[in-house]
Every structure is written in structure tokens, then in C-alpha cells.
Amino acid sequence: MPPAASIDAHVRLDVHPTHPSAVTATLTGTQARIAHMGLEAADWTVVANNVLALVRIDSEEPYWARDAAKQLTAEGITVEITPRLQEAMDEEWTWANYPMPWCTRSEIREVSNEAQKIHDDIRNGHLLIHAHAHDGHTTVAVGTYLHRTGKSVYLHGENHLRQVADTFDSPAQALLTFEKVHGAQMRPGPAPLTDTERSAAEARTPLALTTKPEPVSAEPEAVPVYLANAGDHDALLDGFLDTHGEFQKWRTWSDETAHAIHESQTLRIERVHESQARETAWTIAAYETPVSDRMWFLTATGATPAPVLQELLNHLADGWDTAVGAPVDEKTVTTATQPLTEAGWKHTLNGYGIRWTSPDGEAGVQFDPLTAQHPQNPATWTIWAGPDPDRPTWAITASPRTPSSLMSDLSETLAHDTGLRRPQTTGTGPRTSLVTSPPAIPAGAAGPAPSRSR
């Protein structure tokens, strides 16, 4: 039903310039304050004059921005959605290795929204955290609500998985129970911010809306290899096969996938041609014999930079371990990551394992010791570029017994090599830091784009 009266307010929704999943709303019009109040009531944060941002820890900002757009439009406010935000709204995605695989996408969103409410209550001072601990798998905490019921709660998990696991009638009862279970690991106050929480906090800081000339060159620039363009993966595979006759290429009947198989039948490369940037585009698997189970395997997404894939293929061409590898131990991990340590990558421990982060914070390598004893686990090792491994620009995952020499070669490449990145903009002229996308699409005219899973 159309609104009774039109309101002189215009809202332009766009992707946040520095936080990959967050959304900004730029307000104009003589009655922009009406849209401003509505967005603030829906937990949008003011980040500049007439600019608000929706920032969440569950990466669901595009979904909730779509909901806000519908509500604003129903109130008679004009809403525009930029093409790149529309694409994010239409994208169908799910969490990798989600611990509750029985949940539907809608149920996953409900779980993460409850976790978001807990996060917001802590951030806004409505939920006071008395103590926290690490139970060997994740962070647990105990706190008391200072509004609503005044109940004390036992919290389990981090970020989009945090849940209320138990409730108590008083802080004293909650603390005594918590200390009984987690006494040795118990620490006062809230746990340190996770990488996701820290990134969200940064996205809520004020944006500088400064306009300045920005010369743009059509020439590609040299960047750290993890920031390089993906290049032509099919050409990369074809070049590899042309120079390594020991591999034979096979294509599936649908022509969507190519397979390169070593003459020994113990190493196989699968390349999916039409994969999306964040979907698995490469799978490499090694076998002890042509008919045995996999010893180790590795996957790479469609946006993985060409130089990284080239190093991977070079390693395979030079030979690989055909003997069943020993379980991963401290020596294996040290050997695999020594190039990162020597190059000054930051070494930290978190609830997911051991993480090495590049000096610029744009890439990381993670080892999950809890999965290292399961040979078929797909993500004991994770290499990625982007803010975090949950929503990376590109990623490589590897099973526990992936040769340490291969991981070391990849680490060496990440730590020291460079690649080429071609600027995405063309022309020269003034540019505003917040408005960087193509012309916006009116919300009412933005039809659904084809959905995709990743």
C-alpha cells in the first residue's frame, strides 16, 4: 500500500568504504531527520553529518539494510541502493564449517541475531560482564542484565555464535557456579575483543567526508602478493599443463570442470571454471596409491591471486610427499610458518587456534589444532586475504597432513613476493571517500539479482 504522504527525505544506501559487510546511509532532504530517527532506533550509528552506518558482528548488514529500506519506503521516504550493495543483498551465502549444520539459513540468521543482541547489550552497558574464561574450545562468561529482568546469565561462544546457556536469579549465584566450573581459567571482567568485534568498533568510528583530487593511472601497481589480482586461472592451468607433460588433462561431460591427473595417478587437480570469487575453484588431492583414500587435500577460491596459485603449482611440479605423513606437531607448524615469523607477521592465539597476521592486517594464516587429529578435516590450515577468515576476499584451506614443505613455500610467497593489481577506477577528478560506487538504483526499481551460494 503506498504511503499516505511523501516525505522530503532521501536515503542512499551503500557499502561501507572500509568495513566489507557494513552499510552506510547518506541522508538528504528537508525532512531527513525523520529517516535519521528511524535508522538510529534500528541501531544504526552516526558516523558523519547526515551519515549513519549499520555495523554487525554477524555480517548480516545487507539483509537488515534491505529490511530498513522497505520500512523507510513504506513511510514515504525515497531510498536508493547502490549496485554493489544490491549485489550483496541478493547474495546467498553461509558460514564455513558452521557448528550447527542442521540449521536452515533462516535459523542461522535467528541464532546470529540473538548473538548480536547480546553483543549490543554488552556494548551499550545493559549487560555487565563479571568474569570470563576459556573452556578449551571457546570463550564463556557470566554477567547480569541491568535492565529488563535483571537476571544473571551464563554466556557461551564468541561473535555470531554467542548464546545464553543458563540463567540465575542473582549475580552471587551466577559467580559461584561459574567459579566452580571455570575457577582455574576464570578472569575478572569481559574477555578481550575478538578480531570481529574490534573490526566492528572501527567501522563505527567517524568517517572523514573529504573531497580531494585522486589521480588514477591505468597502469597496474605492485602490491603484496596477497592483494594481487586473481588473473586468468584457466590460462594458468593451461600453461602448467603445457610445460608438465606428466599431467594429463580431462574435462567433464558438462565442460564445467577440468581435471589434471599425474601419470602416477596419485595427485589430482580439479579446476571449476565458472566459480564465483569466494567459491571453491581449485581442489588438489594426494593419494598414497591410485586406489587409496586421500592423504591430504587443499582448496582455493576463485579470487585467489595468480602468483599464489603459480607457487602452488610449481611446488606440485617439483614433487610431493607420497608417504603417509605423520600427525601435525609443533615442529610441523613451526616449519610451515617460519617465513611468516621471520617477516614480522603478528603471531596471536585465539579461540580458533594460532593465527599469523600480515603487518598491514590485510592477510592471515591460521592453524586449528583441534582439527589436526582428523585427517579429512578440510580447514586445519586456512590462508586468506581480507578482514577475517569468515568472509575473506579469497581463501585457501588445507587438511592436517598437507606437506609442511608446501605450506612453507606458500608462507614464503605470502611473506615476500609481490604481484600486480590494476586500479578499479578510471579517469581523474574529485572523489569523496564515502561515495565510491556506481550510480544508485532506486529501491523500488531494484529487481532481484540471480542468487548464488558460497
Residue predicted with more confidence, 227 or 430: 227
Q: What is the mean pLDDT of residues 324-347?
A: 84
pLDDT at 42 over 80: yes
Categorise residue 265: left if φ over 0, alpha if ψ from -120 to 50, beta otherwise. left
Q: Give CB contacts under 8 A, 24+ apart, made by 1-8.
A: 3/74, 3/75, 3/76, 4/76, 5/76, 6/76, 7/31, 7/34, 7/35, 7/75, 7/76, 7/77
pLDDT on residue 430: 36
| Percent of the chain residues past pLDDT 90, beyond the cut | 49
pLDDT at 303 over 50: yes
pLDDT on residue 250: 78
Check if the beta carbon of residue 409 is closer than 8 Å to that of residue 303. no
Of 7, 73, 67, the residue nearest 34 (C-alpha): 7
Q: Give CB contacts under 8 A, 24+ apart, made by 140-144.
A: 140/165, 140/178, 140/182, 141/190, 141/191, 142/174, 142/175, 142/177, 142/178, 143/174, 143/190, 144/171, 144/174
**Interatomic CA distance for residues 406 and 320, integer angstroms:** 8
pLDDT at 212 over 50: no
**Interatomic CA distance for residues 310 and 317, integer angstroms:** 10
Q: Residue 141 — pLDDT band, cuts 50, 70, 90?
A: very high
Q: Residue 423 — pLDDT band, cuts 50, 70, 90?
A: low
pLDDT at 26 over 80: yes
Which residues are within 8 A (CB) of 98 and not within 5 positions of it... i.e. 6 or more apart? 108
The residue ranges of DSSP E strands in 34-157, in sequence order, are 45-48, 51-54, 78-81, 127-134, 139-145, 152-156
pLDDT on residue 277: 82
**Interatomic CA distance for residues 64 and 38, integer angstroms:** 13
- pLDDT tens digits for 219-250? 778 899 999 999 899 899 989 988 988 888 87
DSSP H/E element including 70: helix 61-74
* Best-predicted range by mean pLDDT (17-21, 278-282, 337-341, 419-423): 337-341
Q: Residue 436 — pLDDT band, cuts 50, 70, 90?
A: very low
> What are the distances in angstroms from CA 370 to CA 35, 200, 377?
47, 27, 10
Q: Residue 252 — pLDDT band, cuts 50, 70, 90?
A: low
pLDDT on residue 107: 92
One DSSP character per residue, 164-215 reads: EEEEESSHHHHHHHHHHHHTTT-EESPPPPPHHHHHHHHHTSPP---EEEE-
- pLDDT tens digits for 142-198? 999 987 668 999 999 999 999 999 999 999 999 999 999 998 889 999 999 998 999
